[in-house]
Structure 1
């Protein structure tokens, strides 16, 4: 280059830190290529990843499902005739402030064994199956679950598989809880059954030993003995009355009842009556002979002899009929005529009644003594039997209640794991959830706009700085 060209060429501008910070004039279009280059470079850095992501990212679809937990409790009751009532009650799942069933189920849905079971049902690995996105809706009992898949059908299938695995796990947990409770209850039931059997055997042994079947039987025996004792007392009073009546009539007639009976028996004999008639005839003949002759006259002696023969014959007949000795025949009343004969008959009847009453009194008294002795012997056994029967009733009631309680708890399957229902089945998405093209383009546009705003501020920074510097300071 010549000196003249050197003198006529425009001077080169040096790049300085001040120029970079302050910038040039707004009307200096010489800076435009640099700003255009920065704008192009920034747009490339913004849109290249976005376009690459939109072109290379695989499509994914989200299937959503909603679960709901009803808030009511559950109860079960069983009435046992003659024993009582067995009941169970499960509080509402939301009645406790310390335990949240929705949070519990959220953890359970995301448990690895449930995800593994769902993945296995679709012949997938746990990593390929993915994890659900679980959201609890505030102030409700709703659980919202989202599953992602490569196709709408695959996303819906994953949601269904997750639900099936979740409900299968719930059923398994409830069944395990019921089995655990039942196993613990069976041990108690076995003890109750053994107690009932032991008490029953004790009762059977005591019944076989004493012959006493129940406490009611002992009460019936006591009542029967009481009635028998009352009857014996009444019979004793009646017997004493009959004795007094017989004694009074014997004193009035002057003959004992046995003699009156023998007299009536004797005068019922026709041969004896004929002999007494014959004695009467010989007595009349003797009296007539005595009136005509002296005692030593042959006719008087003949009449006396005939009378004696007749009297002896009558006494012999009386002894044979009555079975009494001749000396006892003197106590007989040999003239029971008219009303006296009736009184003798009444005496004999009253004495027979007295004898019957005395025999009955003796029999019942002996029976009363026997029953009283038996009651004294069996009273301790009756008390023991009553205690055993009470123990048996209590043991049987406890045993039946335990069985009823075990059976009633089987209906309470939602006590620990509350009821959950599917409010919305897994949906079939109609558009992909990722990549979100609109969101990516909006983000790229926003970034580009912010880049342009930054470049515009850089373009006018000199004028802005000059204005700020030239602004007068306000006095303090």
Structure 2
């Protein structure tokens, strides 16, 4: 106070010209002071200009941008293939589900693959754009699903859709190239093993051919057939030996009963089949009867007896000569013949001859089969080692051929399993044709401007009322807090 005047006991203060000080800047002026309004209005206008000028400039000058969206899905089922080759082997392939492993996420893999530079460059080249002009897609993975959501921007709706199609084309082309490269790599890695199998099969086949040429055996089954044939031949020889013994005993028994060997019985039957010999035999009988009659009447020296004896002797000599001519036997052998094979005796002689013929046939057959058995047994023993070797080689050949064929079949079957390393992916939603631009977002920009303006005005309001608020807070009693309206409330 610089000057005081006392009127009627009251003190009157002269108003001072306000001064700008740090305390006034911090504490502010009175709430009801209207002189502060121009300053706050100027700050509000300046703040509004700073807020809305960039927003307006952005909305007026920013180029339009359209976003095309695409959705991809990965089916979660696995695939299997099996091939059975009769007499050769089996080949099978199985690919697990793409989501069966917790350590590898196919959606994450494809996310990185879609954003790879070579795919973006291929898509950009297909549209005659540079890598920077084409842009980079926004890739989102939908949680708890196998979906991949793609967004890519363009200057127009059609351009954004075309860029989405180009990106999908480049992505699927790269997938096909990767799968083809994988198949080629796997096939090339198996060629060396297949060549080894082929060499093993050829070497074993060559050994088999050489052994077949040296031994004459075509297969182990042929040797088994030889062994079986030899066994059957041996059994037949034994049976035939028993049959020959039986026939021999029968012939000996009949010879003993008839008192004539079988050869003599045959000669007898042959002799009595000759008509001339039978006529001479009848003549010998006539002369024998005449000689007996003459002897009964006369003595041995009588001329009739001598004549009859001479006639009988001549007839007998003629009959013996004819018998020798027919049978080819000597005179002494002819005396062993049965000269009276009439009636049942003739049948027994024929039976003896027949039995002897059967015995001789059995004996000859036995001799032939015995010689054959000896040869077969010698051949069997000579082929035993070759047969064992051939069997081993054929078994090795079958195994090598089965392994070779299975390897080829497995190589061929893996060609159908193209989704083993890179799972199947399908387009769930084709690139969309946006009906409105995604940028600039006018509603969002205006909302941001309104929010910023509101916050600025709120700040100015708080600045306008800061003096009263700070003063009441400083003068509030202990244990109580003062509200904005000056009314104390319990702390």
1:66: Cα distance to partner? 1.0
Give the Cα separation in 2 of the matches to 1:337 and 1:428: 130
User: What residue is the counterpart of 2:284 in the other structure?
Assistant: 279
Q: 1:304-453 alignment to 2 at 5 Å?
A: 304-453=309-458
Distance in 2 (alpha carbons) for counterparts of 1:26 and 1:270: 181
Q: What is the 5 A alignment of 1:63-462?
A: 63-462=68-467
> TM-score scaled by structure 1?
0.92
Give the structure-2-normalised TM-score: 0.89
User: Is contact 2:89–2:405 with CA below 8 Å preserved after alignment?
Assistant: no
CA distance in 1, matches of 2:158, 2:342: 135
Shift of residue 299, structure 1, vs aligned partner: 4.0
**CA deviation after TM superposition for structure 1 residue 102, in Å:** 0.6
CA distance in 2, matches of 1:461, 1:417: 67
Tell me, what secondary structure is at the counterpart of 2:367? helix
Distance apart, 1:110 and its partner CA: 0.2
Residues 378-399 of structure 1: CA deviation (Å, up to 9, x unaligned)? 2322223332332232223222
3-state DSSP of counterpart to 1:76: strand
Residue 466 of structure 1 is aligned with which of 461, 466, 471? 471
**1:137 & 1:359 partners in 2: Cα distance?**
99
CA drift at 1:80: 2.4
SS of 2:423 mapped into structure 1: coil
How far, CA to CA, are the matches of 2:165 and 2:277 in structure 1? 128
State the match for 2:8 in structure 1. none
Question: After the TM superposition, which residues 55-66 of structure 1 pair with which residues of structure 2 at under 5 Å, given as runs?
Answer: 55-66=60-71
| Offset from partner CA, 1:82-124 (integer Å, 9 cap, x none) | 4454322211111110000110000000000000000000111
User: Would you say how many aligned residue pairs link Structure 1 and Structure 2?
Assistant: 468
- TM-superposed CA distance for 1:151, in Å, is 1.4
Query: Secondary structure of 2:145's match?
Result: coil
For residues 115-154 of structure 1, the C-alpha deviation after alignment (integer angstroms, 9 at most, x for no partner) is 0000000111101111111111111111111111111111
Structure 1, 143-152 or 315-324: larger mean CA deviation = 315-324
Q: What is the CA RMSD across the aligned residues, in angstroms?
A: 2.2
Q: Secondary structure at the match of 2:201?
A: helix
CA–CA distance in structure 2, aligned partners of residues 473 and 11 of structure 1: 33
Q: CA deviation at 1:424?
A: 1.2
Q: Which moved more, 1:279-288 or 1:170-179?
A: 279-288
Unaligned residue ranges in structure 2 (runs of 5+): 1-13, 481-490
- Aligned-pair distance for 1:330? 2.3
Give the distance between the partners of 1:255 and 1:44, measured in 2 at CA: 160
The CA distance in 1 between the partners of 2:284 and 2:448, in whole Å, is 168
**2:100 counterpart SS class:** coil
Find the aligned partners of 1:96 and 1:371 in 2 and give their Cα distance: 67
Give the Cα–Cα distance (whole angstroms) in 2 for the partners of residues 281 and 11 of structure 1: 210
Gaps of 5+ in 1: 1-8
Provide the C-alpha distance between the structure 2 equivalents of 1:452 and 1:289, rounded to a whole number of angstroms. 192
Of the three residues 38, 41, 45, the one matched with 1:36 is 41
Structure 1 residue matching 2:393: 3-state secondary structure:
helix
> In structure 2, how many angstroms separate the alpha carbons of the residues matched to 1:283 and 1:462?
193
CA–CA distance in structure 1, aligned partners of residues 345 and 77 of structure 2? 104
Q: 1:27, 1:300 → 2: CA distance?
A: 209
